[in-house]
Amino acid sequence: MIIAERKPLDEIKEMVKDYRKVLNVGCGGCTSICLAGGQKEVMILNRDLKEQLLGEGYSPVLDGFVIERQCNYDFFDELDNMVGGYDAVLSMACGVGVQFMAERYPETPVFPALNTVFCGADRNIGWFEENCRTCGECVLAETGGICPVTRCAKGLFNGPCGGTRLDGTCEVDKDTPCAWYEIYHRLQAQGRLGNILTVKPPRQWQNQTRRSLVQEDYKQRYAG
Amino acid sequence: MKAGSNLEKVLKAGHFAFTGEVGPPRGANVEAIRKKAGFLKGMVDMANMTDNQTAMVRMSSWAGSLILLQEGIEPNYQMVCRDRNRIAMQSDILGAYAHGIRNILCLSGDHQQFGDHPKAKGVYDIDSIQLISVVKKMRDEETFLGGDTLDVAPRMFIGAAANPFGVPFEWRVHRLAKKVAAGADFIQTQCIFNMARMREWVHQANDMGLTEKVYILAGVTPMKSIGMAKYMKSNVPGIDVPDEIITRLQGVEKKLVADEGIKIACEQIEEFKEMKGVAGVHLMPIEWEHRVPEIAERAKVLPRPQV
Ligand code: SF4
Ligand code: SF4
């Protein structure tokens, strides 16, 4: 899932303060699940923003609305009829949703209310951890299901580096486990150390230009 | 001869190598390097020029290396993976070679978070082991990593670092093996204080036949003070300072602590001279270059061989 967090109120206020009628649109997908941009967060942001703007002498009209997902146009029908009535749109989706919204309504200024931070999992309620940098060439098979791209501070493919602390934490942060220390121990326990005994050659990075993807079964459909 | 550097010749001739280190200035202060070089001249077979160590911006290591060359000291050009991608690295290697640099040390580098630009974007396009293989490919296959032929190969003597004290300890000798397989000609270790661990690591390397394929230079740093020993013990990741060292420094009069530190270093060097699998010592006298002549003298590594 995509994990996001709300931008500071001041930053959001600066984006929208000069627009009188603003529609704040939440997303029922990832940002709702990670408690950053769902129904409740739309309400809270509108309340706080209104109070702030009123206090500074503005007289904003701030409405809220949530669609199921902002990363698929199938869910935009209702919005299509609403956006025309506003001077600007604030999106509480991830960066993908914000861009989709901006593309859908090219005449309307669209602003991000969130910072999109990573692809991660729930460690507990409201607690998330980054696990994948979408490198496009997954090596988890060799590394015991622990991602070196994301979880090693240097993204090493032939780790660990010389800085691993004696207690197995990363040189960068004494509260973060060294990914390669964990990879070593997991592979050792599974009798698979052979995976990391040979030199892993430099990789051909797959994520240096914008990617698009059509699944095999649909290639015919979009051809030509 | 792979590169024909002075270090390679010294090692090939079977001498016990003695190398040093110079940290470049935080500015364009050429005199600072010349001054440090003055203390090292004739005392070492080669001196490392560090590459923005601890991720603090300093004069570039190739530029510092050239100044060492002018001063008559063979440089070991350190290159970290933190700051440049494979294009910049290969280009710098060619440039360094063109100007007479013949040794290179391939390192991951301290993470940018430690330095004075903690939120810089780290590069880490390739890692240190991959960098070793790139330099080797350029030298031995005369091709770039991308496969194209290059016009005059950079004949570098390829160095790498090893930390015998890192965890998992059992893994460290395998990591050394990977560096050797990638093409390392010589290894400089992390500063050694835990001799028991070091002996064990070298023993493992001997058993795996690695010391027949690579020259190991043992890293030695004299403790300047009790404070330094304590700081290294608790604050420098990857360094293992046993309590005996601290106790021993505490056991002498205050004004003799530095001398005791040098004494410990000299005892280590004596042991390394006899240790099977160790081909020399790499002295890292952190900001203590002016004591190098005294240390070299007391460690009985002078005069340096002319090869
Ligand atoms: S290797 Fe890591 S970053 Fe790449 S796809 Fe797998 S989990 Fe994601
Ligand atoms: S200590 Fe471990 S996780 Fe941290 S940079 Fe080194 S290898 Fe990567």
Q: Is the distance from CB of A165 to CB of B168 less than 8 angstroms?
A: no
Q: CA-CA distance, A105 to A195, in Å (whole number)?
A: 50
Task: State chain A's mean pLDDT as an integer.
Answer: 97
Give the fold, CATH level 3, of B6-298: TIM Barrel (3.20.20)
Same domain, A17 and A96: yes
For chain B, give every domain's residue range. Answer: 6-298
Closest listed residue to residue B103, CA positions, set B282, B289, B295, B301: B282
H or E segment and range at residue B280: strand B280-283
Q: Are residues A79 and A150 in the same domain?
A: no
- Give the total number of structural domains in chain A: 2
> What is the predicted pLDDT for the residue at B73?
98
**What is the distance between the alpha carbons of residues B162 and B174, in angstroms, rounded to a whole number?**
11
CA distance, residue B92 to nearest chain A CA (Å): 18
For residue A157, what are the domain limits?
A: 136-204
Q: Say whether A197 and B166 touch across the interface (CB within 8 A).
A: no
Residues A8 and A79 in one domain: yes
Among A171, A173, A174, A181, residue to substitute to test ligand 2 (most atoms within 8 Å of Cβ):
A171
pLDDT of residue B209: 98
Residues A166 and A112 in one domain: no
Mean pLDDT of B211-223: 98
pLDDT of residue B237: 84
- Give tens-digit pLDDT for B129-159: 999 999 999 999 999 999 999 999 999 999 9
Among residues B108, B278, B284, the alpha carbon closest in space to that of B193 is found at B284
Q: If pLDDT is split at 50, 70 and 90, which confidence band does B270 have?
A: very high
The C-alpha atoms of residue B48 and residue B189 are separated, in whole angstroms, by: 13
For residue A131, is it within any domain?
Answer: no
pLDDT over 70, % of chain A: 100
B81–A154 CB contact, under 8 Å: yes
| pLDDT grade for B113, boundaries at 50, 70 and 90 | very high
What is d(CA B39, CA B304) in angstroms, rounded to the nearest whole number?
14
pLDDT band at residue B205 using 50, 70 and 90 as cut-offs: very high
Q: Is residue A217 part of a domain?
A: no
CATH of the domain at A89: 3.40.50.2300
The number of residues making up chain B comes to 307
What pLDDT, on the 0 to 100 scale, is given for residue B212? 98
d(CA A63, CA A102): 18
Contact B156/A186 with Cβ under 8 angstroms?
A: no
Closest Cα partner for A83 from A118, A103, A108, A56? A108
CB contact under 8 A, A171 and B128: no
Task: Tell me if A158 and B168 make a contact (CB, 8 A cut-off).
Answer: no
Please indicate, yes or no, whether residues A114 and A140 belong to a single structural domain of this protein: no
Nearest CA in chain B to A161: B108
Same domain, A80 and A160: no
B240 band by pLDDT with thresholds 50, 70 and 90: very high
Q: Is A1 in the pocket of ligand 1 (CB under 6 A)?
A: no
Ligand nearest to the CA of A141: 1
What pLDDT was estimated at residue B238?
84
pLDDT 10s digits, A120-145? 999 999 999 999 999 999 999 999 99
| Strand order from edge to edge, sheet including A2-6 | A2-6, A114-124, A127-132
Residue in B closest to A205 by C-alpha: B125
- Residue A162 touches partner B, C-beta closer than 8 Å: yes
Res A72 pLDDT > 90: yes
What φ, ψ does residue B125 adopt, rounded to 5°? -65, -45
Same domain, A88 and A141: no
Last residue of a domain, one of A59, A92, A118: A118
Closest atom of ligand 2 relative to the A177 alpha carbon? 3
**Would A130 be classed as within a structural domain?**
no
Q: Is residue A33 domain-shared with residue A106, that is, in the same domain?
A: yes
Is residue A140 a contact partner of residue A112, using CB atoms and an 8 Å limit?
no
Mean pLDDT of the residues in chain B = 97
The atom of ligand 1 lying closest to the CA of A139 is 1
How far is C-alpha B133 from the chain's CA centre? Answer: 18
Of A161, A163, A185, the CB nearest to B168: A185
User: Does residue A224 have a pLDDT over 80?
Assistant: no
Q: Contacts of residue B134 in chain A, CB cutoff 8 Å?
A: 202
- For residue B22, the number of C-alpha atoms closer than 13 Å in the C-beta half-sphere is 36
Say yes or no: A113 and A149 in one domain.
no
CB contact under 8 A, B108 and A154: yes
pLDDT at site B151: 98
The predicted model gives B180-192 an average pLDDT of 98
Return phi, psi of residue B126, to 5°.
Answer: -125, 160
Residues 6+ apart with CB under 8 A from B163: A162, A163, B172, B189, B190, B238
